Amino acid sequence: MPKELRDKYGIEVGDTVLYIDVGDHIAVLPVPKDPLKILEGLRIDEKGSVYDMRREALKTARKLVEEKFRG
């Protein structure tokens, strides 16, 4: 990832990013250093399995990215 983009979005070398296929493009989102922070503010049923929570988090992230880029 180019340094200008890492600097702009606060991504450091070695940080983890999440790639989301939005259909006609790919969104790259930085993963917080504290993985639980990404779940804050998302309405996810915590009674499900970790797999279900991860799937729901990815679904929500994909929806947010689509809304942002499609206006």
Q: Tell me: the pLDDT tens digits for 14-71?
A: 888 888 887 888 888 887 777 666 666 666 556 667 777 778 877 887 787 777 777 5
Contact (CB, 8 A) for 20 and 27: yes
Q: Which segments of 1-49 does DSSP mark as H helices, in order?
A: 3-9
Radius of gyration of the chain (CA): 13
Q: 3-class SS at 62?
A: helix
Instruction: Write the single-letter amino acid at 47.
Output: K
Please give the residue range of the domain that contains residue 60. 3-70
pTM: 0.48
Token pair of 55 as six digits: 């799937």
Read off the tokens for 25. 């493009």
Task: Count the domains in the chain.
Answer: 1
Q: Which amino acid is at 12?
A: E
